[in-house]
Structure 1
Amino acid sequence: MTSRVRIGVQLQPQHAPDYALIRDAVRRAEDVGVDIAFNWDHFFPLSGDPAGAHFECWTMLGAWAEQTERIEFGPLVTCNSYRNPELLADMARTVDHVSGGRVILGIGSGWFQRDYTEYGYDFGTAGSRLDALGEALPRIESRMARLNPQPTRPIPILIGGGGERKTLRHVAAHADIWHSFVDVETYRHKSAVLAEHCAALGRDPSTIERSAELQADGDTDDLLRFGDAITAEGVTLLTLAVGGPDYDLSTVERLVKWRDARQD
């Protein structure tokens, strides 16, 4: 696990009717020095006008693979329900090659019912979706091991969520990165639960990179104070979500400067 703090930005693929706005945001994100650019895997906006503009996740990541040169990138997160696990492995491997080894496979169990209803997927229950994720992850790993050509590197798997009985068990068994949406106190508790799952599997929990979401509606100074507090607990990846159509990266720039000052 790296000890250097990294900064991610989630460029939400909503409310940007001209894809050029997203392309420009990715370019600017790389230029200001972020480490990772994420999108998300939905089919409709999650906020604002529900009938607003929206673009699909993985075809966009293929474009990012060609457009960028330095940053890592990936979905935050892919919905396991939307693609056959073997297909998803092949998609990730292909984008890995296109990018020269910079894709991160973020994955979760899914939750946005409108996606399921309008695209014809079985919504099930939260429990059944988590069970399906647990079944899919070994299939993804198995297919990845059999693909020809092989990925250029072991593609990092990021799992998002904090469910203590199932999600964190999946993290312990399969994830390289654990992404959480919690405050410092809650993170401390969830991290202890994750350590218990790792112990049951014989895995060192320090081999899992810790990632946390920053709340974009907070004051920037508050964000930096949260960054100081959560990184003191062992988190090394902080991600801020930014929405379209403008994709204002001014707060992201401050985070990058804060990151760089910590390394001095």
Structure 2
Amino acid sequence: MKEPSELSGVDVDRPNAARMYDYYLGGSANFEVDRVAAEAGKAAMPDAVTYARSNRAFLGRAVRYLCSVGVDQFLDLGSGIPTVGNVHEIAQEANPRARVAYVDIEPVAVAHGRRLLAGVDGVTTTQADIRDPASVLSAPGVADLLDFDRPVAVLAVAILPFVTDDAEAAALVAAYRQACVPGSYLVISHIAQLAASREQVAEAEQVMARTPTPVVWRSADRIAPLFNGYALVPPGLLPAPQWRPDGPVEAEHIARANAYAGVGLLR
């Protein structure tokens, strides 16, 4: 990891959600300011690491499922900093011709992605704000790689909490849906109050309010409308560890993940 002075255009004075998430996952693409904020997040929400890792595990299961039903194009919104088990690794293991367009606004995430993916066929990394679908969809790394006349899986894993207005979040998802043809999919995971107390939720939101990307926790009945226009794939929208698990899951772990997840099929 370069020192802050070597990274042009990177804000190292304020903690960043992507770099905090990287820290929770055990990565090294983070700075002291991120680690301090992440530890504050853990103090407010002791299950923060469980949440991050449960999201990552769900992403892997969802991608493997999509490959099993023939999906070979993926648009990963808010993809974050590359770490073990990236979408392209999972997808191209199942289908070497699979194509993956990563999109993130964070310069460190994009820089790491481009360095990691140099020379990898069928994969791009684009720096763009996912809240501007027109810019994302027209970016060369997306438009020149993905064929939207064929099914595309839009991945919105642990990213929609950063779109704090419910109407804006719904409109955002709808814009990506409208770019896709029937047979496409939407994958969502979203932070939710399961094991967390109201006080922990409030304190965790306060920690993130000190970053450029505040978050909102949503209940299942506020997450479900984000799938409007899609048919939920069984087993539906439920706590992330329960979505097609690889094996038995302890009840305590289900709650401590503090996240709902689901996959929708565009009819």
TM-score by length of 1: 0.36
Which gives a bigger RCO, structure 1 or 2 (Cα 8 Å, sep 6+)?
1
- Normalising by structure 2, we get a TM-score of 0.36
